[in-house]
Structure 1
Amino acid sequence: MELLITYDVETVTPVGAARLRKVARICEGYGHRVQKSVFEVTCTPTTRLQLLAALNHAIDHRTDSVRIYQLDHGTFTAAQHLGAAVDPPHDGPLIL
């Protein structure tokens, strides 16, 4: 399954900035950063549930927003990139 994850975390306070780093670290553990707050994730249904639980626990539901789009298989390889875009290896292992 392919997921596109975007997030907007309040960073006005030091606590918010810490949450932003935590959300980024969670996403980095599951996928590839393609823009500052955008990740492409290839996962199983079980891994998706783990990711959702981790993100749900990390954010402040009053001020933060996470959007998760489930995409058709092969969408990442068919994506067009313009400018200084990265082309992450979705088919290979994710090494942290």
Structure 2
Amino acid sequence: MLVLITYDVNTEDAAGRRRLRQIAKQCVNYGQRVQNSVFECLLDTAQCRSLQNKLCKLMDPERDSLRFYYLGKKYESKIEHFGCKQTYLPEDPMIL
């Protein structure tokens, strides 16, 4: 299923900036960054729960927010892209 993950981390102090880097690093391990704090991740249920647990342990629930949007398996019809950044298909191979 395609999961859209967004986060907002309070970066007023060094601890917040560290949390931001750690959360972004975990998201990069599971998906593709589509905007600064937005990732599209193609995950199965176990991977999704694992990532959710990791991110919840990293965040400060008093200062940060984390959102998961579950777009499902038929996500192609739920996404429209406009603008200059080139889109990608999560199921296609990526060349690094």
Post-superposition CA distance 1:5-60 (Å, at most 9, x none): 11000001011001001010011111110001001111111101110111011101
Alignment gaps of 5+ in structure 2: none
CA contact (8 A) 1:34 1:86 kept: no
TM-score in terms of structure 2 length: 0.88
- What are the residue-to-residue correspondences of 1:4-43 with 2, within 5 Å? 4-43=4-43
- What are the residue-to-residue correspondences of 1:79-90 with 2, within 5 Å? 79-90=79-90
Corresponding pairs, count: 95
C-alpha RMSD of matched pairs (Å): 1.8
Alignment gaps of 5+ in structure 1: none
* CA distance in 1 between partners of 2:20 and 2:90 (Å): 24
Post-superposition CA distance 1:77-96 (Å, at most 9, x none): 33221112332331145788
- What are the residue-to-residue correspondences of 1:45-84 with 2, within 5 Å? 45-75=45-75, 77-78=76-77, 79-84=79-84
* CA distance in 2 between partners of 1:95 and 1:57 (Å): 31
TM-score in terms of structure 1 length: 0.88
